[in-house]
A and B are shown apart, each in its own frame.
Chain A
Amino acid sequence: MVWSSPCVADTTTERSGSILIFPKVIFDGSRDTFIQISNTSNSMVYAHCFYVNAVPLCTRSDGDCLAGTCLGECVPQWQEVDFDIWLTKQQPTSWAAGLGRVTFPFDNNCLSDLRHPELDNADCYGSGIDPGRVPPVSFPFAGELKCIEVEAGGAPISGNHLKGEATIVTIDGDNSKYNAVAVTGFDPNDGDNTLCLGGARSERCQSGAEYNACPGTLIVDHFAAGADSPLLGPTSEVRTELTLTPCTENFETQESTRVVVQFRIANEFEQFFSASTTVDCWGNFSLEDVNAVFGVIPLGTRLAQTRVYPSTASQSGIVGVMEEYHTIAGVTARAALNLHEEGERTSADYIVIPQRP
């Protein structure tokens, strides 16, 4: 007789967790990101959230690195801003990254007055119990959002009560949506400011893993760069953008985490290719920018499966999300997908949050 144990997930995009990671948050004038977070428990939940802006800074004040107009040098940055939110039982909340959310109890509620339709109000951003003051991100912003479940005093806890989604909305009305990556917490969690994701007991993590490990490998099913989208016709093109963020982060010292990422690509002919790139704090790139081998002509087929994993020398795991751009005749439709995961890292990742007062 063979018995099975309950499965243990690593990071997850479909179950609540104690750390929520939104790998791709954009606010750049053409796109803004709508964040949704909810409490899946019947008790009050607190979370400490960190925006990390990874937009390179232009050394000249009149240039913009994102727009490609910087005449000076583009200096990588990793600028975090943090804030607290709290959610009552089962409460959902939401805000736009570019707008933030103020604590204003007199926001217009959504209103449907069936007797007086002229009084209808469906424009009700900010209605509901405010989760705290959420600052708007700086402009331009391209980076990530991390929210860590804490107790009322601010110490991290393994409550596993948070879930979330992000919708990247384009100025022309197009949008793409993905689920936040959640990391499940374990007990015991010592509540200090070093969060231990996976791994064994160590000097740094004396009670062992407090959270699940990051995945060992990410699996990306994608179109070859420049391949046609069968949904749109043979003259269409698909471009895939991959966003990766390291699991290890130090918000206390703001030391960046650098991960060498390996790509193992299989085409439809069962032929294999490989490539690599470096993710410094946060990486957002089109696959063809990593290596020309992702292109439809070198790859030779429309579809590919790519396994993405940190190199053995790297000190951090990675999580991410992908976004596909389907274009024909200059019109683009976008769709985001969560990545598949396989295995888990055997070594620990660490998230260090600032010391509490």
Chain B
Amino acid sequence: MRGSAETGGMGGMSRRASAAVVGMAAIALLAAPNADAGVSSDRAGAILIFPKLVVDSERGLDTFVRLSNTSDREISLLCFYVNATPKCSLPSRSCFPDPDDCETADGTCIPQWQESDFRIRVTARQPVGWLVSQGARANCSFLPGICANDESQSCAVDRDCGLGNHCVVPPCFPLDGTFRVGRPFGAEESNIDSAVIPAPEDPFLGELKCIAVDEGSLVPVARNDLVGEVLIGRRTPEGIVDVAAYNALGIPAIEGRGNRDSTLVLGGPRVCSGGTRNGQPCAADSECTGGGKCAFDPRVEYEGCPNILILDHFFDGAVDPLIPNLCQVDGTCRISDTTCQSNRDCENRCEGETCTVSGGNCDTNADCSELVGQVRLATDLTLVPCTQDLRTQNPSLSETTAQFLVFNEFEQRFSTSRSVNCFKESRLSNLDTPQNERSIFSAGVAGTLTGQTRIRGVDEGAVDHGNTLIGVVEEFRCVGPGFPLCSFVSPADLVSSSATNLHFQGTRPVSDFLYLP
């Protein structure tokens, strides 16, 4: 219901480095990691994190954010775009998507971390969505539509397009509170005052966070009613289409916690509640003798971020065994698009001193790269820290060293590390070196097709921030003999992409903090 204050306000500490936090950190040193992790991509939460959004309208690339309220009550959200698009030190040059534009002119790419916030209201069970490049408002009634069956025909309602067709309007919030309301016989909920801003720049790279808040005061509320998805897609004038999707990460609030301030405490130490060890650090109920329960310290307001992220992946550069370059009925090879009469013509062999697929001169088959006409795999990883200062935009609170522990299918182990500053997006094989072929994430170095990588933010023992990370992964299939470098923003050799959520293991007895304006 509009205008009424919600109960169960959330909050955290009135001062960042309060004595309470110090106390929690002290307890943290004693407590062991717990097996459970609260962040979830398959359960509703009170904070939604969309770790990666990308827009490049010139190249037909955009992101569609889908979000819905799983409860029977209206919910208000305070959302933050975090713009992580790198900037060139030269004003006329750009670093994204192609850093060469800046660097070849002797410029320097400077990371940025700029937040912009907005507010939306979602009614009971309502799904909403918007294009990141465009934003959305509660103005569907006034938007010009286009008939789905005829792009040249404008429309206002479905019947303008003829029987069986429908009118397509840009993504918007349909319940404007005047012409359309929800629940006509009830509370008359609406999306009024909802306004999603378009991405602050185009091209754009960054993340989105949405927090359930009280409608009037914008104080965070403990309502675990939000789920969301992201679809990153492209359509080029050449007719290439590609869509990848992942679930937003939900952080559940703990019912009944919070002091309604703007510092949100995510996870932390567990202590015995009741019993003979009341208030003492614990990791499991069995440690709380006398009938006590092992529970989060009372100052913790949300479930904690995971201790370890686990990523199963193909090693970069490996050939996808499921996409051979076969001869199709139209007389072209599926991947190389060269002419053929049989599958044999789609193998890059030397025939008549010419390579059958790549077309260069040759004396033997060895002169024709066997990788021509094959699809190779590459993986991009995006990591964002759980601690973020959206209030003073202090990036030092979000600096973390990420440790990567890599296992191949021989149980052989490699490791590397990389600093994560606010937002980190990288090809796996560029995490440890700029030369992909020499990376421990390259198939040629690792020696097997797939690997398991465990990612851990190194705990610095700080009292005002944690060092946990969350993220998402994208897999790209690229055609061509060279090392696969294609991606959403470098689509020249891109065949297709997909995105998935990472796996989690454990939590930490250390809190992360979200500092809100």
Q: Which residues of A contact B (CB under 8 A)?
A: 1-9, 12-16, 32, 34, 36, 38, 40, 88-94, 96, 98-99, 109-114, 118, 120-129, 163-165, 167, 169, 171-179, 219, 221, 226-237, 266-270, 272, 296-297, 301-305, 324, 326, 328-329, 331-342
Q: Provided the pairs A112-B444, A328-B235 are in contact, do residues A15 and B503 lie with their beta carbons within 8 angstroms?
A: yes
Q: Which A residue sits closest to B252, measured CB to CB?
A: A7
Q: Provided the pairs A229-B243, A230-B131, A335-B231 are in contact, do residues A178 and B64 lie with their beta carbons within 8 angstroms?
A: no
Identify A16's interface contact among B171, B254, B503, CB under 8 A: B503
Residue B356 is within 8 A (CB to CB) of chain A in the complex: no
A4 to B315, CA, bound (A): 41
| B42 pairs with A340, CB closer than 8 A | yes
Q: Which B residue sits closest to A326, measured CB to CB?
A: B243
Residue B15 is within 8 A (CB to CB) of chain A in the complex: no
Residue B366 is within 8 A (CB to CB) of chain A in the complex: yes
Q: Provided the pairs A91-B452, A167-B475, A235-B148 are in contact, do residues A2 and B334 lie with their beta carbons within 8 angstroms?
A: no
| A335 pairs with B498, CB closer than 8 A | yes
Residue B448 is within 8 A (CB to CB) of chain A in the complex: yes
For A128, list chain B residues within 8 Å (CB): 408-410, 447-450
A296 to B168, CA, bound (A): 10
Q: Provided the pairs A13-B501, A112-B437 are in contact, do residues A302 and B151 lie with their beta carbons within 8 angstroms?
A: no
Q: A94-B449, A125-B449, A173-B496 are in contact. List 14 more A-B contacts (CB 8 A).
A: A5-B294, A6-B294, A6-B295, A13-B42, A88-B411, A167-B498, A169-B320, A177-B499, A179-B501, A219-B227, A228-B168, A232-B233, A336-B498, A340-B42
Q: Provided the pairs A231-B62, A268-B127 are in contact, do residues A163 and B310 lie with their beta carbons within 8 angstroms?
A: yes
For A341, list chain B residues within 8 Å (CB): 42-43
Distance in Å: Cβ of A162 to nearest Cβ of chain B: 11
Identify A328's interface contact among B67, B175, B241, B315, CB under 8 A: B241
Residue B293 is within 8 A (CB to CB) of chain A in the complex: yes
| A89 pairs with B411, CB closer than 8 A | yes
Distance in Å: Cβ of A331 to nearest Cβ of chain B: 5
| B233 pairs with A269, CB closer than 8 A | no
A93 to B451, CA, bound (A): 8
For B231, list chain A residues within 8 Å (CB): 229, 231, 324, 335
Which B residues, 231 to 284, have Cβ-Cβ distances below 8 Å to chain A?
Answer: 231-235, 239-247, 252, 254-257, 270, 273
> Considering residues B42, B166, B246, B256, which has the most beta carbons from chain A within 10 angstroms of its beta carbon?
B42
Nearest first, the 10 closest Cβ-Cβ pairs linking A and B are: A112-B444, A128-B409, A231-B233, A270-B182, A110-B443, A266-B125, A335-B245, A173-B495, A3-B295, A3-B273
Distance in Å: Cβ of A136 to nearest Cβ of chain B: 13
| B175 pairs with A14, CB closer than 8 A | no
The 17 sampled A-B contact pairs (Cβ below 8 Å) are: A3-B295, A6-B294, A9-B36, A9-B40, A13-B501, A15-B505, A16-B503, A93-B409, A94-B409, A110-B318, A110-B444, A163-B503, A219-B227, A231-B131, A236-B235, A267-B127, A270-B183
Q: Which A residue sits closest to B180, measured CB to CB?
A: A269
Contact with A along B471-505 (1 / 0, CB 8 A): 00001010100000000000000011011111111
